[in-house]
Chain A
Amino acid sequence: MSKKKLLGTLALVICIAMVAGLLLTGCQGAGGKKGESGKFTFVIAQYSNATEPFARKVVEDFQKENKNIEIDLQVVGWDIIEQKINTMVSTKQAPDLLNFSYFSRFVEDDLLMEVEEVISPELKEKFYDSFYDACKIDGKAYAMPFLASIRSLYYNKAVFEQAGITEPPKTWSELIDVCKVIKEKTGIDPFGIEMTNFEGQAFFAYFIWGNGGDFKRDGKWVINSPENIEAVQFMVDLINKEKATNPQPTAINRDELQKVFGQGKLGMLITANFFPTILKSEAPDCEYGIAPIPVNEGKPPMSLGVQDFLMIFNSTKVPGAIGKFLDFFFEDSRYEEFMNIEGMLPATETAGKIMAGKDETIKQFIDLLPVAKFYPLTDPKYGEMRLEIIKACQEAILGEKTVEQALNDAQKKAEG
């Protein structure tokens, strides 16, 4: 008898517990916006060794405040992230939130959510317009800027002193003059150019933009425009005729050139704002100056901005939770800390102002952000065209084709 009673009570307790559980989950489901609680995957690229600890801490802090949200954080190295994402997407296991350097190819396959459906209006307001606009395809933002870097001309002060040069070159003709003097008086290679698959397109961009050219105009590729041909010809002459550069630009990448610069074997190099952080640890004795990228006479100043993106896949079930997390992540102090750790520039104006107020060098870079130009990343074809452009420049440098021929052929690929 007593056993039966016991079983009966047990059954009752279980029933009550189950009903209560149902009610609770029901309450959770009903509360607030759509998909505000639950679990989501966040894939972030590994910018440095400090990325993972920082990201883990942010996620932990966020989860402490939001007990009903769970984040599966995956920090992935740059060398394998492309393969990893490709696999995730093609096996229909796309992450919910992704940090990556491309996004348009996912838009083409209709895999991304419009950003404004997810983020708060306050967050949207924070981003630099130039950056946020670079995330738009047909007027709709499918990604948001994550962080940025900007390019400048770095020059070795010791080399300049030895050659008796006081001012870094502002225009192309000054650049040639300065190169000649450096070469004559020091014997050091004056100017660094790389034209490999690593980042050859950046040097293409420095020269064509410095001559008023561009990758695309009015939505169409214009790789063989007269401005571009003139600009690439100038670059090729700088290499082959003036011999003002490192001897084989097709055989050295930017990272390697940075090391050569650090050792004082290169007069000038155009590279990113994280270069000082690298020099500080690898070549602390190297004294350098920073100047704007030289442009052709009468052309407006410009710089190359490179930004990475955050995007939300439309397979996600918890857009509300992601929106909350993004607000949390982009809070100025937290975001500023992240930028300082990585030596990167912020994509939000609010953090930019704070950081510019604290550091003169950073201010110099941040001032360039509004005039930054970007690669045409909103075009899904860019990934392929990047390689075609590098190939064309290599052909021109190695004398396999004339500049015009090479760029015409690249243009054909863009149209085909």
Chain B
Amino acid sequence: MNDTVVTSLQHNNKTIKGIGKKGKIKKLIPYLWIAPSVLLIAVIIFVPILELFLTSFSKVSLAGIRKGLIGFGNFKDLFSDKAFLIVLKNTLVWTIAVVGISTVLSIGIALILNKKFPGRRIVRAVLIFPWATSLIITAAMWKYIFDFNYGIMNLILQKAGIIKENIYWLAKPEISFPVLIWVGIFVTIPFTSFVILAGLQTIPIVLYESGSIDGASGWRSFCYITLPLLKESLTVSTVLNVIYVFNSFPIIWTITRGDPLNQTDTVVTYLYKMAFQANKMGQAAAVSVISFLILLAFSILYVSIVMRRSD
């Protein structure tokens, strides 16, 4: 009996060893399969990032040719102009306002869309429109709506007797920046509310039923059932929105071009002006590096906070 057990074990051992050798190769094979994608990502993502960092530390001629490293010179020049601080502040306000307000509004919209009502399908389809339309078209449309000379907004407000004289919506930053933020919210809502709607649909109705049996009011069940279970979709929508909105170029560029005096510029439009109007490629790269680092820091921070909480 014992003997047979031993031999069978030995036999097993042998076979295990055999599998081990083959297994090593087998383990390598998946890496081989993903190698092309890894290579592609390396070439398409990491090489440009490397180039960007290199450019930001180089002196770049007006024609765009690198003329050797100069350390932090470009960054120093950047911060010596107080316009860049205005731009950073604008970017912060722009991102927080657009993402924050549109997320709050989207929760409401998603809650409504999750209820059954006649014409719900149509409303859901219509909600996608602003998202499906090209951003430049949407921005240009809003620019015309708020135009001083032939904008429909002034016309409506005048006919309604709310204002007597046309308002120059897009001249002073005190008015034009809120208008920009509104357009940003308008185009951000569809995506956000669909992500949240998808999240809502995963919440089992049973939870609300048992909640109502225990006497939870609508507000309470929203706070203690809906919101906690929406956490994942809110994380996804917030991280993606912050990155999109932070990097959003067409709205501001189409409507105000960041004027006057950089007061409606965000990092991205400032960067574009730097690169292609002032031809300061080195400084433009420096702006890019800074915005890259801000976004990277934000993503790491946000995701780690959310991950920790869910643990």
Q: A109–B65 contact, CB under 8 A?
A: yes
Q: A83–B276 contact, CB under 8 A?
A: yes
Name which of A5-13, A14-22, A380-388 contacts chain B.
A380-388
- The DSSP consensus for interface residues of chain B is loop
Question: How many angstroms from the CA of A286 to the CA of B3 in the assembled complex?
Answer: 111
* Given A251-B168, A265-B149: A108 and B62 interface contact (C-beta under 8 Å): yes
Q: B259–A383 contact, CB under 8 A?
A: no
Cross-chain pair count, CB within 8 angstroms: 80
- The DSSP consensus for interface residues of chain A is helix
Question: How many angstroms from the CA of A248 to the CA of B261 in the assembled complex?
Answer: 13
Closest to A90 in B: B64
Question: How many angstroms from the CA of A384 to the CA of B260 in the assembled complex?
Answer: 17
Name which of A51-59, A122-130, A152-160, A390-398 contacts chain B.
A390-398
* Given A105-B279, A248-B171, A383-B277: A86 and B259 interface contact (C-beta under 8 Å): no
Q: B62–A380 contact, CB under 8 A?
A: yes
From A89, A395, A400, B64 is in contact (CB under 8 Å) with: A89
* Given A197-B273, A387-B277: A247 and B168 interface contact (C-beta under 8 Å): yes
Q: B279–A383 contact, CB under 8 A?
A: yes
Chain B's nearest CB lies how many Å from the CB of A97? 16
From B66, B261, B279, B281, A394 is in contact (CB under 8 Å) with: B261
From A260, A263, A384, A398, B279 is in contact (CB under 8 Å) with: A384
Q: B65–A89 contact, CB under 8 A?
A: yes
Interface residues of A in 76-124 (CB under 8 A from B): 82-83, 86-87, 89-90, 105-106, 108-109, 111
Chain A's nearest CB lies how many Å from the CB of B185? 22
Q: A384–B63 contact, CB under 8 A?
A: no
Q: B278–A387 contact, CB under 8 A?
A: yes
Q: B261–A109 contact, CB under 8 A?
A: no
Question: How many angstroms from the CA of A394 to the CA of B277 in the assembled complex?
Answer: 17
Per-position 1/0 for A351-374, Cβ under 8 A of B: 000000000000000000000000
Q: B267: which A residues are within 8 A, CB to CB?
A: none
Q: B62–A251 contact, CB under 8 A?
A: no
Question: How many angstroms from the CA of A251 to the CA of B281 in the assembled complex?
Answer: 27
Per-position 1/0 for B261-278, Cβ under 8 A of A: 100000000000100111
Q: B65: which A residues are within 8 A, CB to CB?
A: 89-90, 109
Q: B277: which A residues are within 8 A, CB to CB?
A: 197, 383, 387
Q: B279–A251 contact, CB under 8 A?
A: no
Question: How many angstroms from the CA of A265 to the CA of B278 in the assembled complex?
Answer: 34
Give me the 4 closest cross-chain CB pairs, A-B, nearest first: A105-B62, A248-B171, A251-B171, A90-B64
Inter-chain pairs besides A105-B62, A108-B61, 9 sampled, C-beta below 8 Å: A86-B63, A87-B64, A89-B64, A108-B63, A196-B257, A247-B168, A251-B168, A383-B277, A391-B261
- Write 16 A-B pairs (CB below 8 A) sorted by A numbering: A86-B63, A86-B276, A87-B64, A109-B62, A196-B257, A196-B259, A196-B260, A247-B148, A250-B171, A250-B261, A251-B256, A251-B259, A256-B149, A387-B273, A387-B277, A395-B261
